[in-house]
Amino acid sequence: MVDKILHLTLHRKWFKQILAGTKKVEYREIKPYWTKRLFDSNGSPKKYDYIIFKKSSSFSDEK
């Protein structure tokens, strides 16, 4: 069986806070993009085996 993985890309600031343990919750604006990834067609939450947090590679995120 293949693991279901949710990939989340974070700005450097938030990524560092999660690693340090000072940020415990990650919020996303409710938009069709996220609704589709987090809920099935019946409105039930999808189940993921893992969540992978990735640091943004954007140059504008270097602050």
Query: Using one digit for the tens of pLDDT, what is the confidence trace for 21-59?
Result: 999 998 889 999 999 999 999 999 999 999 999 998 765
What confidence score (pLDDT) does residue 60 get? 57
Stretch 10-23: mean pLDDT: 93
What confidence score (pLDDT) does residue 51 get? 92
What confidence score (pLDDT) does residue 44 get? 96
Asked whether the whole model's pTM tops 0.95, one would answer no
List phi, psi (to 5°) of 25.
-130, 140
What confidence score (pLDDT) does residue 39 get? 95
Task: State the maximum Cα–Cα separation within the chain, in Å, rounded to a whole number.
Answer: 41
The residues, any chain, with a CB within 8 Å of residue 39's CB and separated by 6 or more, are 45, 46
The position carrying tokens 């993009």 is: 33
The residues spanned by each domain of the chain are 5-56
List phi, psi (to 5°) of 7.
-100, 130
